[in-house]
Amino acid sequence: GIGPVYAAGIVAEIGDIHRFKDHAALAKFAGIAWTKHQSGNFTAAHTHLIKFGNRYLRYYIMEATNKVRMHDHEFKRFYDLKYSQTPKTPHKRALALTARKFVRLVYALLHSNRLYTPPKGE
C-alpha cells in the first residue's frame, strides 16, 4: 500500500472531497494536468505539466503512485504501457499519467467513503 504517511498527507491536503466536481478538478488542484497548446486546427500532443497547484498534494500523489505501481499489477501494467509509448522523458511522463489514474481512484474512494480492496489474484 501507500502507507499511513502518504495516505494522511493526501487526505489532509484534499480536505473535503465534495468541493471538487469531478476527478479532473482534483487533478488540476494537485497540479497533475497538462498545459494546452493549440492554434487553429493544430493541437500539440506532448505538453508540459502545469506549474501551479498544491505542490504538497502533488508530491504525496506522485510518491504514492510510484509505490503503488511497484505493488499493484494493474497500475504496473498501465505504467509500463505508458512508458513504452512515451518518446521523451518516459519515466516522468508515465508516472504522471499513472498518477492521473491514481487520482481517479482516490476521488472515487473518498467520494463514496470506501477503502481500497485490490482485485483478487494479486
DSSP letter (8 states) at residue 21: S
What is the span of the domain harbouring residue 7? 3-112
Sign of CA dihedral 116, 100, 58, 20: negative
Q: Is residue 42 part of a domain?
A: yes
pLDDT tens-digit profile of 86-97? 888 889 889 999
- Identity of the residue numbered 104: R
Q: How far apart are CA 61 and CA 30, in angstroms?
A: 8
Q: Is residue 119 part of a domain?
A: no
Q: Domains in the chain: how many in total? A: 1
- Identity of the residue numbered 121: G
Judged against a pLDDT cut of 80, whether residue 24 lies above it is answered with yes
Q: Are 13 and 57 in contact (CB under 8 A)?
A: yes
Q: Is residue 64 part of a domain?
A: yes
Q: Which three cell numbers stand for residue 98?
A: 499513472
Calculate mean pLDDT across residues 33-38: 68
Q: Is residue 122 part of a domain?
A: no
Q: Is residue 120 part of a domain?
A: no
Calculate mean pLDDT across residues 44-56: 76
